[in-house]
Amino acid sequence: MNDRRLATLRLLSLVGALFTALVIMAGAFTRLLDAGLGCPDWPGCYGALVVPDASSALLHSPDAPLEASKAWMEMIHRYLAGCLGVMVMALLVLAWPRRRKPGFPWRLMLMLFAALMVQGAFGAYTVTLKLWPQVVTLHLLGGLTVMTLFIWLHLRLRRVARGEAALAARPLGALMGVATMLLVLQLALGGWTSSNYAGIACQGFPTCNSQWVPDTDWGEGFHLTQTVGPNYLHGALHAEARTTIHLAHRLGALALTLALALVVIRRWHRREMRPWLLTLAGATALQVALGIANVLLWLPLGLALLHTAGAVLLVFSFTLVAWKQRHSRQAVKGRQRQTRGGWLHA
């Protein structure tokens, strides 16, 4: 592959990561405007590829009156997601001649394609299952997964361009593994909180509804086999169940913050990682502050959208720290020394 094609792949992967973040934000904006069912069908909108007029919409879906602004917001989100699919297809076409080269991330590209297809299915089921919270949560996690794969692909392609594709990588270690699991759990709890409309179920901070131990219903709050079929717009759970979800999200935030603080402290001695660790620490602090502000200010639209942006930034920065942990020159040299030492003492 010539340098120009490789440079194009690197650019596409970087643009793909940024564009995925834009799609996630567009999806969050759609959800916050209660526009997730602005088009009651999929992939079209009232049977059309663009938002139709009110009379055509009424003929197609008499039980779902057209709200043009919400329908357009939903369709813009779909158009953006479609552009992302075209971008991934372009990556695959450009990378095809290189797919068998040692060290080239062809399998990662296939994983990205598969993840995007699954994400598209989640998008369809979000509409057809009428905002079923399980699917809405998986849709958020799917979007962040696609963004992470784009970032990882870009970093892998940078290594290929520098001729470092075959260099060893260091294991992430137990602490990063625990932090990764807590991050995924907290993102899922955030999606579950949003999809069940539990963002202000706990009023006040640090207490919840003026209580340290509020009334909760864990069985109903995390009933993962809720009935499929009802319209879940504005939620369907009672107050104690929503309080439980919100409280779990707060506890998850505490656990994740402590884990990420440990990551920063334990890795701080490695100078080449400090800029990324500072970014991770800043993103964590910002996200915690935004979460508290959303509770105290009763979830205003702008702050709620920024909270989603904070989650995107947190995933972005954590991915960069994980990459630096695995692939920095110091880590690789240490890994190679350990390998040589093992041979010498065998």
Predicted pLDDT at 341: 41
Cis bond leading into 105, ω under 30°?
A: no
pLDDT value at 342 more than 60: no
Predicted pLDDT at 300: 97
Q: pLDDT per residue over 247-272, tens digit each?
A: 999 999 999 999 999 999 999 999 99
Given pLDDT bands bounded at 50, 70 and 90, which one contains residue 332? very low
The lowest-confidence range among 27-41, 110-124, 151-165 is: 151-165
The lowest-confidence range among 25-39, 60-74, 178-192, 330-344 is: 330-344
Predicted pLDDT at 171: 84
Sketch the domain layout of the chain as residue ranges: 1-166, 172-346
Q: Average pLDDT in the 178-202 region?
A: 97
Given pLDDT bands bounded at 50, 70 and 90, which one contains residue 233? confident
**Percent helix, strand and coil across the chain, each to the nearest 5:** 70, 0, 30
Predicted pLDDT at 234: 86
Catalytic residues, which ones? 74
pLDDT value at 4 more than 60: yes
Given pLDDT bands bounded at 50, 70 and 90, which one contains residue 127? very high
Alpha carbon distance 146, 139 (integer Å): 11
* Angle, vertex CA 331, rays to CA 175 and CA 163, nearest 5: 130
Name the maximum alpha-carbon separation found in the chain: 81
